[in-house]
């Protein structure tokens, strides 16, 4: 059975999210109430710049992804404060140290695709 | 935490065999565990007042079908799902029900048959934002491992010592799914890569099984009772860009702080521990989050034998999930059974000498954006 795609929605090279005007929490999903405090949230675009929190090569085929592929938790930038942490595909594959600057380059079958900043696209 | 009203004991424990049993009826796993636990407690099935059953992928009606086969009928039955901690949550709820006087004799059971649900590893949940983005469970742990190793400037090979230690202990446990001769560090590190630094022998197997415990007031908890000194159950807060600690650590630490405070015990009082080592990095993070090792040192403690059988604080003398296997909903109660045997001095071949205080911890995880679905930490003691 198919289900609603729960992955963050991309708008070009940014993630369509929201920020709470009460507590400032950034959400990688567009919502009108904050998932943390239920305060009012407003639409924001996060990225394309981000910083790798951690990355790992995955040697299991999962869904459409052939092994190996590389996943990374990426803390996205925001215009008015830090953005959300999102799970992204690092392309081309290969682990990078925490703190590595990356940027969103688009999507790979709906996964957020990031590449090391300055490496070119 | 509310003041203790009734002292609570574990009257009996039992488990099924652990392994892959795709041609067995799922109920038979539960029957084996419950029968052993009731016999151990010296109770008849009609003396059970309520049941909590934990299972993650168990089918509808599972609890009542299991119980109908062992004569436990007509009483309230609660089924709980808390990912890998489902059985431990069943245990916790049974303990609190007795402690508060809601029921007198409560059966906590965990049942899981993964071999009929998955052909390979657990398929990530399609409705979860991260599961849908390809985050298999080993990958979730691999991401924590790489962050932890970088933070402490450690080489990935240190994680292998956890597998060597636990599989050595598991080779002494006749109920372990993966028994046999334990691998060397080279064999652990040289096994097939799964995710990040985690090789195949650093990942728990997919296991079917069941485990059970009978909980009762301490003064009515059978011939050889073990006291539940405290049990704490929390779920994770949000985990995201404002969280620096690897996933799960804050949640484990919160549960531990509550359990130690409620029991009035110090970390140094713990003689033996069973904790969540679904992957080697899990035991490392958990040992440190529990406050049983300084940050960055848990793997080296294993390498030096301090957390091995015969060491200062044996961790996972059963062989852990890495050896026994990880029948999700059953795991917490299998851990409980091991600790009861340890505290009674009946863990033949892998006994921790003179163990009087034991720590039980299980972490259930995976929901995107939260620091774990559930964590239970309990402290058990010999009367």
- pLDDT tens per residue across span B284-305: 999 999 999 999 999 999 999 9
Active site residue B326: yes
- Confirm if A52 and B241 have CB atoms less than 8 A apart: no
Is B143 in CB contact (< 8 Å) with chain A?
A: yes
Q: Tell me, what DSSP letter sits at residue B211?
A: E
B100 Cα to chain A: minimum distance (Å): 32
Q: Do residue B195 and residue A60 have CB atoms under 8 angstroms apart?
A: yes
Q: Which of A69, A78, A71, A65 is nearest to A26 (CA)?
A: A78
pLDDT of residue A2: 87
**How large is the ipTM?**
0.97
| pLDDT per position as a tens digit, B173-191 | 999 999 889 999 999 999 9
Is B261 in CB contact (< 8 Å) with chain A?
A: no
Q: Do residue A5 and residue B145 have CB atoms under 8 angstroms apart?
A: no
The active-site residue out of B84, B203, B204, B375 is B84
- Classify B365 in phi/psi space as left (phi over 0), alpha (psi -120 to 50) or beta: beta
Region A65-91: mean pLDDT is 97
Active site residue B204: no
What residue ranges of chain B have pLDDT lower than 50? none
In whole angstroms, give the CA distance from residue B213 to residue B108. Answer: 5
Q: Tell me, what DSSP letter sits at residue B1?
A: -
Q: Do residue B138 and residue A69 have CB atoms under 8 angstroms apart?
A: no
Q: Is the peptide bond before B225 cis (omega within 30 degrees of 0)?
A: no
pLDDT of residue A30: 97
Q: Do residue A58 and residue B142 have CB atoms under 8 angstroms apart?
A: yes
pLDDT of residue B82: 98
Nearest CA in chain B to A4: B127
pLDDT of residue A118: 86
Cβ-based contacts under 8 A for chains A and B: 105
Is A80 in CB contact (< 8 Å) with chain B?
A: no
Is A56 in CB contact (< 8 Å) with chain B?
A: yes
User: What's the pTM?
Assistant: 0.97
Is A98 in CB contact (< 8 Å) with chain B?
A: yes
- Classify B317 in phi/psi space as left (phi over 0), alpha (psi -120 to 50) or beta: alpha
Nearest to B195 among A58, A72, A76 (CB): A58
Please state the φ and ψ torsions of residue B93, each to the nearest 5 degrees.
-65, -40
A35 Cα to chain B: minimum distance (Å): 9
| pLDDT per position as a tens digit, B257-275 | 999 999 999 999 999 999 9
Q: Do residue A57 and residue B128 have CB atoms under 8 angstroms apart?
A: no
B-chain residues near A83 (CB < 8 A): 241
Q: Do residue A54 and residue B130 have CB atoms under 8 angstroms apart?
A: no
């Amino acid at each position: 059975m198919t289900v609603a795609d729960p992955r963050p929605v991309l708008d070009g090279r940014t993630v369509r999210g929201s920020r709470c005007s009460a507590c400032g929490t950034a959400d990688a999903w567009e919502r009108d109430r904050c998932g943390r405090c239920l305060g009012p949230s407003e639409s924001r675009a996060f990225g394309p710049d981000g910083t790798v929190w951690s990355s790992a090569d995955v040697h299991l085929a999962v869904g459409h992804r052939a092994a190996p592929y590389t996943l990374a938790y990426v803390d996205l930038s925001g215009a008015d404060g830090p953005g959300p942490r999102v799970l992204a595909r690092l392309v081309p594959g290969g682990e990078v140290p925490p703190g590595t600057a990356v940027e969103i380059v688009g999507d790979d079958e709906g996964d957020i695709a990031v590449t090391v900043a300055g490496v070119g696209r | 935490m509310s003041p203790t009203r009734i002292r609570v004991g574990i009257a009996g424990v039992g488990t099924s065999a652990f392994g892959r049993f795709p041609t067995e009826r799922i109920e038979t796993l539960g029957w084996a565990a419950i029968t052993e636990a009731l016999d151990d407690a010296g109770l008849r099935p009609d003396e059970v007042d309520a049941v909590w059953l934990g299972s993650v992928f168990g089918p509808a009606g599972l609890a009542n079908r299991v119980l109908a086969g062992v004569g436990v009928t007509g009483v309230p039955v609660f089924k709980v799902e808390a990912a890998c901690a489902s059985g431990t949550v069943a245990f916790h709820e049974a303990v609190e029900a007795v402690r508060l006087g809601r029921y007198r004799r409560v059966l906590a059971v965990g049942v899981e048959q993964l071999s009929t649900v998955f052909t390979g590893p657990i398929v990530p949940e399609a409705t979860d934002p991260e599961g849908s983005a390809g985050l298999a469970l080993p990958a979730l742990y691999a991401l924590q491992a790489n962050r932890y190793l970088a933070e402490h400037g450690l080489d990935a090979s240190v994680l292998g010592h956890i597998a060597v230690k636990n599989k050595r202990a598991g080779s002494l446990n006749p109920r372990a799914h993966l028994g046999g001769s334990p691998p060397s560090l080279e064999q652990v590190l040289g096994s097939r890569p799964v995710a990040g630094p985690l090789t195949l022998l650093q990942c728990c197997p997919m296991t079917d099984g069941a485990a059970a415990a009978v909980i009762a007031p301490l003064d009515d908890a059978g011939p050889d009772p073990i006291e539940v000194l405290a049990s704490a159950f929390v779920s994770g807060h949000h985990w995201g860009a404002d969280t620096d600690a690897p996933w799960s650590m804050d949640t484990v630490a919160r549960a531990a702080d509550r359990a130690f405070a409620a029991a009035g015990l110090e970390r140094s009082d713990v003689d033996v521990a069973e904790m969540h080592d679904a992957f080697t990095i899990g035991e490392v993070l958990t040992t440190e989050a529990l406050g049983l090792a300084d940050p960055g040192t848990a793997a080296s403690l294993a390498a030096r034998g301090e957390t091995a059988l015969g060491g200062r604080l044996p961790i996972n003398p059963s062989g852990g999930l890495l050896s026994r296997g990880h029948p999700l909903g059953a795991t917490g109660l299998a851990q409980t059974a091991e600790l009861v045997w340890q505290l009674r001095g009946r863990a033949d071949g892998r006994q921790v000498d003179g163990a009087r205080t034991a720590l039980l911890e299980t972490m259930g995880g995976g929901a995107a954006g939260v620091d774990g679905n559930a964590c239970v930490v309990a402290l058990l003691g010999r009367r």
